[in-house]
Structure 1
């Protein structure tokens, strides 16, 4: 029997997981696929617990869609470690994990729409900066590469910069010099919702010496297009591999 799981980052304490689960449930409530929801950080609804409960109900084939933007530590290390441990405990189960959300073509369309909504007329001296989480320790830089490829493939006519909150391509290194080239800089926060991390981006930019008009677009904010991305990621796991 199959089991579909959406796994988000979550938090071990507080009510963020309840709010996150409500957002996800609302997003996929009319979907043709049924999803269980798990978190990487949770006291009662972590991925191991959700998988164990489903195994006890007869599920032996898992399709997991990570609600993660790019392939950073949680995608490349945490989830594989959990899957490895679950397969050690239950050798007969099969587990498939989809790609991250940010590498899907529709994510680029969403970013382009955010940029178009922020453009007022034919402004000439406008730059765009797409900001994602980034990696602090430098071990999981694939996420940086995916962000840069995403930004490079945007179908817009404005100069575009791929930057992060943390890590070697953080906007803190060169935002002040970049901003001097433009009258307006459109910043697209590539986060699931406008919360603590987006506020941190805004605060750090506000603390820098910048005379340019900085316009923040909304983040992903569980846009309906995210539902299609999740569906596509799940259905990509249903396509038989060609050998």
Structure 2
């Protein structure tokens, strides 16, 4: 990836941040993305040298990456820290976003950019996931942890590294929360699929199954996962199935994005 030379520590160029969301046709999910952008703007504003922020969406809606680029350039930004709002690095982070940015840079060859990594297993994300799962366990009467299965379900990706990261995330959370029975599932593009995993864990030894959709916001995917869990509940009447909440526009995610940007800088803009 050719980003040109970044500004030196001695003479830092005016820098800004571009937050790139995936985009969704769901109105609530879109609103939540921009709520998160406000959270991130507040975090960036606390810095000694505040970084201007432009939020945009990769698909389905505006503002686009091109529009966000132009907005930052209009504010005098000469170096853009690109923060993809992605849980794992896959095709969008590796291909689609860099291509779009390279096209933008052709209009402004004097403007440079770098790209932060996915928020993945940042400590704030792990803490937030524990909270979401804890919201379920805390309201269940008579829960026996040794007879409860945790199923983490991701959107899914053809990229093997993204699949592996999802499986590692499940292992880390299961150890932190003492779930002896735990599985990773995917909604699409990877195996095993969620219905197969739900059938596998619905045994005589299991009384409860907690499904954590590893998603950022409300959308059709969250609804589809909840529907598959409800269908499993109809098939396996002796097991209680529970759907935990998605991550949501939380300050913890804004902090994780901020920290990923800092890791990318090489200098503090």
What's the TM-score, normalizing by structure 2? 0.78
- Once the two structures are overlaid, the 10-residue window that deviates more, 181-190 or 48-57, is 48-57
Change (3 A) 1:74 1:2: same
Contact 2:26–2:220 (8 Å) recurs in 1 = no
More helix as a share of residues: 2
The structure 1 residue matched to 2:170, chosen from 151, 165, 168, is 151
2:229 pairs with 1:205 = yes
Contact persistence 1:127–1:186 (CA under 8 A): yes
**Change beyond 3 A, Cα 1:127–1:28:** same
Match of 2:116 among 98, 101, 109: 98
Point out the more displaced range, 61-70 or 220-229: 220-229
Structure with higher RCO (Cα < 8 A, 6+ apart)? 2
Aligned-residue offset at 1:87:
3.1
In the other structure, the counterpart of 1:127 is 149
Structure 1 spans left out of the alignment, 5+ residues: none
CA RMSD, aligned part only?
2.4
Contact 1:48 1:86 in 2 (8 A): yes
Shift of 1:110: 1.7
Comparing 157-166 with 105-114, which one deviates more in the overlay? 105-114
Q: Does the CA contact (< 8 Å) of 2:29 and 2:218 recur in 1? A: no
CA distance in 1 between counterparts of 2:40 and 2:105 reads: 28
CA contact (8 A) 1:10 1:16 kept: no
- Is the Cα contact below 8 Å between 1:7 and 1:66 reproduced in 2? yes
Tell me how far 1:16 sits from its aligned partner: 5.6
| 1:164 and 2:186 are equivalent in the alignment | yes
Partner of residue 192, structure 1: 216
Q: 1:55 aligns with which of 53, 61, 73?
A: 73
Superimposed CA distance per residue, residues 140-185 of structure 1 (whole angstroms, 9 cap, x where no aligned partner) = 2321111111111221211221211112232233321222241101
Contact 2:40/2:251 (8 A) holds in 1: no
TM-aligned CA distance change 1:169 to 1:92, over 3 Å: farther
Structure 1 pair 30/185, CA: closer, same or farther in 2 (3 Å)?
same
Matched ranges for 1:219-230 at <5 A: 219-230=246-257
CA–CA distance in structure 1, aligned partners of residues 29 and 64 of structure 2: 10
Instruction: Measure the CA separation in 2 of the matches of 1:18 and 1:215.
Output: 25
Structure 2 stretches lacking a partner, 5+ long: 1-13
Matched residue of 1:134: which SS? coil
- Residue 21 of structure 1 and its aligned partner are, at CA, apart by 4.8
Contact 2:20 2:58 in 1 (8 A): yes
Aligned length: 237
